[in-house]
Amino acid sequence: MAEAASASCVFCRIVRGHIPSRKVYEDDELVVFHDIHPAAPVHLLIVPKVHVESLISATGEHEPLLGKMLLLAPRLAREQGATDGFRLIVNNGPGGGQEVFHLHFHVLGGPRPWRHMSVGR
């Protein structure tokens, strides 16, 4: 279920403009920006503006938003230089390596070799 924006959530603070980011896309529902610790030449984060803790807590009401996130990933990956494919990662919960408890997709691509991405990033 969607929650109110959290004052302590780093992604909520980025969405509100309280923390700067290198944005590559923004609309009424999503913001996409470069990861500050990239594991690949292209490493974007697709973040919904509504605070949803994780994919585990998403519900049917989020289905259109999740579909939009999935369809946006290949377009932005190509635009940012990942022309030969990309990896999409969604960490969920502590056991899945999630560190920021605001749903987000990692989009990684670009020329190899890539830096190893630890489970918790």
Q: Please answer whether residues 107 and 73 qualify as being in contact, where contact means their C-beta atoms are separated by less than 8 angstroms.
A: yes
Active site residues: 104
Contacts of 46 (CB under 8 A, 6+ apart): 30, 32, 69, 72, 73, 76, 104, 105, 107
Q: Which residue has the tokens 């929650």?
A: 3
